A and B are shown apart, each in its own frame.
Chain A
Amino acid sequence: MKNLSSKLQNIPLKSAQWLRRYKCGPNVFAFRNLETGQVVFSQTLYPKELDIQNQFQFANWQNRLPKAERKDIWRPLAVVTLPNPEAAVSFYENLVQLRFMRDRSMKKQANDWRKKSTDENIWYYGQFRPTYTQEAVADLASAVEASNLECEIKWENEWRRGEDKYWEGITNVNHAYLPKYNPREQTVMLKKIAKEAYTAFRRQEKELFKSLKIGPYAEPAAQS
Chain B
Amino acid sequence: MNPPQKELKLRPPIPPSVSNIKTKDDHPLWQFFHDKKYMRTADELKDVGEPWSVPQLRRKSFEELHTLWYVCLKERNRLLRESRIYQTWNDQDLPDDPFVTVSETIKTTMWRVRHVLSERSHAWANGIKEVENNYTEIINEFEEDYLTADAAADREMEARLERFQFALFGINPMLEDNVPDRNIIKGLKEVARLKLTRFGASEYEQGTEPINNIRDINEAFIVFTAEHTPEGVEDAIKTIQEYREQGTDPISESDELTALAKLMFNFEQEKISVGSTSTKAEAEPTTTV
- B13 near A163 (CB under 8 angstroms)? no
Out of B4, B9, B18, which one reaches A142, CB within 8 Å? B9
Out of A106, A134, A149, A164, which one reaches B10, CB within 8 Å? A106
- B13 near A113 (CB under 8 angstroms)? yes
- A134 near B20 (CB under 8 angstroms)? no
Q: With A110-B10, A142-B10, A158-B20 as given contacts, are A90 and B15 in contact (CB-CB < 8 Å)?
A: no
A195 touches B (CB below 8 Å): no
- A134 near B9 (CB under 8 angstroms)? no
Residue pairs across A and B with CB atoms within 8 Å: the count is: 87
Nearest residue, chain A, Cβ from B20: A158
B95 touches A (CB below 8 Å): no
Chain A contact residues, majority secondary structure:
helix
Q: With A98-B10, A110-B10, A160-B16 as given contacts, are A90 and B5 in contact (CB-CB < 8 Å)?
A: yes
A143 touches B (CB below 8 Å): yes
Contact with A along B1-20 (1 / 0, CB 8 A): 01111111111111111111
13 pairs from A and B in contact (CB 8 Å cutoff): A87-B2, A98-B8, A101-B10, A110-B10, A131-B13, A137-B14, A139-B11, A146-B9, A148-B6, A149-B3, A159-B20, A161-B20, A163-B17
- B10 near A137 (CB under 8 angstroms)? no
Out of A98, A102, A143, A166, which one reaches B14, CB within 8 Å? A166
Task: Name the A residues within 8 Å of B6 (CB-CB).
Answer: 145-148
- A134 near B8 (CB under 8 angstroms)? no
Q: Which 4 A-B pairs have the closest CB atoms?
A: A134-B13, A162-B14, A158-B20, A138-B11
Contact with B along A71-106 (1 / 0, CB 8 A): 000000000000110110010001001100110001
**Within the complex, what minimum Cβ distance (angstroms) separates B74 from chain A?**
28
Q: In the bound complex, how far is the Cα of B8 from the Cα of A139, in angstroms?
A: 10
Interface residues of B in 11-58 (CB under 8 A from A): 11-22
Task: Name the B residues within 8 Å of A87 (CB-CB).
Answer: 2
Q: In the bound complex, how far is the Cα of B113 from the Cα of A71, in angstroms?
A: 53
- A115 near B2 (CB under 8 angstroms)? no
- A138 near B2 (CB under 8 angstroms)? no
Out of B7, B9, B10, B17, which one reaches A159, CB within 8 Å? B17
